[in-house]
Structure 1
Amino acid sequence: MKKIRNLVLPLAALAIVPMPALARETPPAAAPAKPFALPPLTELTLPNGMKVTMAQHGNVPKVTILATVRTGNIDDGQNVWLADLTGTLMQKGAGGRDANQLAEAAAGMGGNLSLTTGPDSTSAMIDVLSDSAPAAIGLVADVLQRPDFPASELEKVKADLGRTLTVAKSTPGSIASEAFAAALYPNHPYGRTFPTAQQLSGYTLDQVKAFHKANFGATRTHLYVVGRFDPATVRAAVEKAFQSWMPGAPPTQVAAPPAPPAKVVLIDRPGAPQSTVWIGKRVDQQGYDVDFRAASTLLGGYFSSRITRNIREDKGYTYSPGAALMQRVQGTSWVEDADITAESTGPAISEIYKEIRVMQDTLPTDAEVQGIRNYMNGTFVLGLSSRDGLAMRLSTLDVLGLGADYLDGFVGRTNALTASDFQTAAKRELPVDGLSVVVVGPMQSVRPQLEKVAQIAPELPKK
């Protein structure tokens, strides 16, 4: 056998070998985004009013089952987090199985059952092997329809939520988000972020059971089945598991009050090395329109956004600023948030206002417009490539009342964006005199800086 030698060369030998210079080339332009088409959807409504959407998606023999119920913190009223307490207890036992048995049943199907509570909806989701789809549907049905609400778990769950509450109330980001929500949605469930510790500890099992009885039912529920499965078998399983569920009441409609005037909220954290800043406002109910989504993305919604380049890359005021649209049934809001070094709080806020004005006064470049088109379409298609991604997107759009048709037209609407669309959307939704500002930080050093920010100085609360 021939012996192979010198597979490893000494570094000195490598150093004397002349290497050709590597030419720096401009990367090729991105190809135009292809039109997106949803997989065919099979939709039906059970006699009790529950909606079902099924879609064959992907090649892996797995299936995602997502049940979304139109109830959440919108139904809390003054009992903040009662929906969260109910949702957590629902996972502690259902259909005669305790929490461990529920987890073992899900694991035996190759999945994990989770239940999440949000402002407008509560969702139970599991991703399992295709052969286990009927059993998984039955498991989800047990959790939603037949929770045991074991009394032995109530105090444990309240204690866990109490620890979560304590941490949140000591975290500047959570403190800012609470103040921001209260400023935008006064006297509305969207504006009530946290309960008091006394309120949380005082909730009873009877309150939990009453919340479930009043708000969980077939009429409010939409089931999504996405993946590879036998349609006839799945449909039979859905009908067996859910057809006897009582319809219940329709979704609660708690209209948000008119948008209040802009305000500035200052929350002192003596000695803190940085300030947490939230700047934003309520925006048009159709905030899912691509023109303002595109403007928000260019302004602050991705890593190469203008605000990020300005206050992070150029000036070093902050590490991770970002803009976001928060979509809810009764209102949409826009926010730019950042954790800023204390000594740079005022200058950073001034720069954020400056970037908003620049977008309103000048057109973005062709390169910026195309870059945002590519980014939005890329993240859109990527988000729909998985079973759970498609199921969750369908659910979100149905809750918001937009429907699946929104997805089919997204790429086309994004490709049609022009530079003037960015400018028009920024002018329409972000008048600089209409932005509320929350600052959580060391006010002894920060307030004098804010008094020099022309846009907010007149609105500063009195000392």
Structure 2
Amino acid sequence: MSAPTSHRSAEEIGRTEQGPRPLPELGEQRAAADLSSVDTVLPNGLRVIAVRRSSVPLVELRLRVPFADPADTSVGSAHAARSEVLASTVLTGTAARDRVAIDTELALVGGELDAVVDPERLAFSGNALVSGLDTLLDVLRDVLTGAVYPADEVERERARLVERIRLARSQPNVIAREALQDHLYGDHPYAKEMPEADEVAAVGRDDVADLHARAVLPRGSVLVLVGDLEPDAAVAAVGAALETWVGAGEAVALRPLPAVRGGDLLLVNRPGAVQSQIRLAGRGLERTDPRYPALQVANLIFGGFFSSRLVENIREDKGYTYSARSHPEFTPGGAALLVDADTASEVTAAALLETRYELGRLSLVAPTEAEVDTARRYAIGSLLTATSSQGGLASFLVNLAGLGLGIDWFAGHPERLAGVTVEQVSEVALEFFAPSAFTGVVVGDAEVLSARLGALGGVALP
């Protein structure tokens, strides 16, 4: 008879031994360099990347169209509103197919197609059985060259968007994100991630059709195909299907953002809130910078995964937050380091103090070899896991393409990560993780927070 199993006490539940948790050794890695691929530009200016990954008989499609305001006007423009309505209605009908016909043809080949938009790009994502690739491409061609934006569909989707935006603007995370973007980037169009509800309500069918004609352009765009396919044949199929997608000019990319500079945080008042959102931001590095692998490892050690110092401190040890993290964000012409934590109001100042402490500790005290080794292995393993599926690889590659990179960068990154040293991590930590390198916002009830944050310092009070 086996001995009874002991149970953890209430105090032990949710807590773990401090320090990096051991990770299993990485298994044999499939070399990305062995993937058969083609990366080329078609006569209409569309860049096409086709990659053979034959795990299942499917093909994943990603199309990225840079989608900044052609007039490059400020945050107050109607471009964001028109873009949202366009993305919501571009698949609702063409001269040859209505919404039902589009969905039916794709379903018959085991496929689907969706569209989303943000300040940087209009993105189409889809998939189908390999045998249905021609159908998937033909539907995409029809949408890109012949979307008609039926007035009833525009009216219905516009009303849905207005309600969604009004609801989203009441959510603490959305309030915090918008406050941070405004604090960092002012009136740059990148800060306008969500249009105003009244701007959307004013969008008409002709507005959307005109934007499509002016901005949905192949030159400067990139299409990625990953699946059980022959890359050369896939590129030829894309060329034949999309040869009629043409247009004057080039898809408009956002102008570079101003660099993030350290400074005081801004307290944004949210009366009556029982929780606060801490959002910090500092300057990051682009993926092409030779120091980026070391910065990636440093970020993991600080707050980039569950065994990080920040999580161990303010979640595991002190219980100030359920979730804390740090992560890079790649922006037009640059990058930022972001730190997020949601806390109860009464411990907000204490959580900010501990966050600053962990930033300072990383920037001034070299991490251990064990910490660096754990972070290196986690970075390599998570990269390979995220790109192990056809869809994951397609999404990763189209994001790289938006930064001007290709599959060669992806293939070489595990080796770059494996070569990161403690000294390299210490060097980038000193420059990028010093508390003085960060700014940001705290969103919460100013009446509750002001006294403690004022005593802590470095926070501009309302």
Q: TM-score, normalised by structure 1?
A: 0.88
1:272 aligns with 2:238: no
1:230 Cα deviation from its structure 2 partner? 4.9
| Between 112-121 and 295-304, the greater mean CA deviation after superposition | 112-121
Residues 388 and 248 of structure 1: is their aligned pair in 2 closer, same or farther, counting only changes over 3 Å? farther
1:281 corresponds in structure 2 to 282
2:49 corresponds in structure 1 to 53
1:410 aligns with 2:413: yes
1:181 corresponds in structure 2 to 181
Report if aligned partners of 1:133, 1:229 keep a CA contact under 8 Å in 2: no
1:31 Cα deviation from its structure 2 partner? 4.6
1:346 aligns with 2:334: no
Task: Return the alpha-carbon distance in structure 2 between the equivalents of residues 376 and 87 of structure 1.
Answer: 33
Residues 31 and 205 of structure 1: is their aligned pair in 2 closer, same or farther, counting only changes over 3 Å? closer
Cα-to-partner distance string for 1:67-98 (whole Å, 9 max, x where unaligned):
22122579774223322221111021134322
Where 2:455 maps in the other structure, the secondary structure is coil
| Between 270-279 and 323-332, the greater mean CA deviation after superposition | 323-332
Task: Return the alpha-carbon distance in structure 2 between the equivalents of residues 413 and 172 of structure 1.
Answer: 38
Task: Return the alpha-carbon distance in structure 2 between the equivalents of residues 21 and 82 of structure 1.
Answer: 61
1:369 aligns with 2:372: yes
Task: Return the alpha-carbon distance in structure 1 between the equivalents of residues 330 and 256 of structure 2.
Answer: 14
Amino acid at match of 1:59: S
1:300 Cα deviation from its structure 2 partner? 0.9
Where 1:55 maps in the other structure, the secondary structure is strand
1:12 corresponds in structure 2 to none
Identify unmatched segments of 5+ residues in structure 2. 7-20
1:263 Cα deviation from its structure 2 partner? 4.0
2:212 corresponds in structure 1 to 212
Map 1:84-233 → 2, pairs under 5 A: 84-230=84-230
Task: Return the alpha-carbon distance in structure 2 between the equivalents of residues 109 and 44 of structure 1.
Answer: 27
2:14 corresponds in structure 1 to none
2:432 corresponds in structure 1 to 429
Residues 210 and 261 of structure 1: is their aligned pair in 2 closer, same or farther, counting only changes over 3 Å? farther
Report if aligned partners of 2:259, 2:334 keep a CA contact under 8 Å in 1: no
Task: Return the alpha-carbon distance in structure 2 between the equivalents of residues 117 and 75 of structure 1.
Answer: 18
Residues 365 and 100 of structure 1: is their aligned pair in 2 closer, same or farther, counting only changes over 3 Å? same
Task: Return the alpha-carbon distance in structure 2 between the equivalents of residues 74 and 363 of structure 1.
Answer: 47
1:18 Cα deviation from its structure 2 partner? 5.2
Task: Return the alpha-carbon distance in structure 2 between the equivalents of residues 403 and 238 of structure 1.
Answer: 18
Map 1:305-320 → 2, pairs under 5 A: 305-320=308-323
Report if aligned partners of 2:162, 2:197 keep a CA contact under 8 Å in 1: yes
1:109 Cα deviation from its structure 2 partner? 1.0
Amino acid at match of 1:154: V
1:36 Cα deviation from its structure 2 partner? 3.3
Amino acid at match of 1:210: D
Task: Return the alpha-carbon distance in structure 2 between the equivalents of residues 50 and 29 of structure 1.
Answer: 42
Identify unmatched segments of 5+ residues in structure 1. 1-16
Alignment equivalent of 2:299, drawn from 291, 296, 301: 296
Give the percent of matched residue pairs that are identical in Structure 1 and Structure 2: 28
Task: Return the alpha-carbon distance in structure 2 between the equivalents of residues 156 and 376 of structure 1.
Answer: 44
Amino acid at match of 1:267: V
1:298 Cα deviation from its structure 2 partner? 1.3
Report if aligned partners of 1:218, 1:248 keep a CA contact under 8 Å in 2: no
Residues 261 and 304 of structure 1: is their aligned pair in 2 closer, same or farther, counting only changes over 3 Å? closer
Where 2:405 maps in the other structure, the secondary structure is coil
RMSD: 2.5
Cα-to-partner distance string for 1:219-274 (whole Å, 9 max, x where unaligned):
12222221113556544432221112214322424232354663422222222221
Residues 131 and 279 of structure 1: is their aligned pair in 2 closer, same or farther, counting only changes over 3 Å? same
1:356 corresponds in structure 2 to 359
Cα-to-partner distance string for 1:347-368 (whole Å, 9 max, x where unaligned):
0000000000000111111111
Where 1:446 maps in the other structure, the secondary structure is helix
1:327 aligns with 2:309: no
Report if aligned partners of 1:182, 1:191 keep a CA contact under 8 Å in 2: yes
Aligned length: 440
Residues 444 and 40 of structure 1: is their aligned pair in 2 closer, same or farther, counting only changes over 3 Å? same
Q: Could you say which structure has the larger radius of gyration?
A: 1
Cα-to-partner distance string for 1:4-45 (whole Å, 9 max, x where unaligned):
xxxxxxxxxxxxx356999xxx98962587473230212332
Task: Return the alpha-carbon distance in structure 1 between the equivalents of residues 164 and 426 of structure 2.
Answer: 41
Task: Return the alpha-carbon distance in structure 1 between the equivalents of residues 355 and 5 of structure 2.
Answer: 42
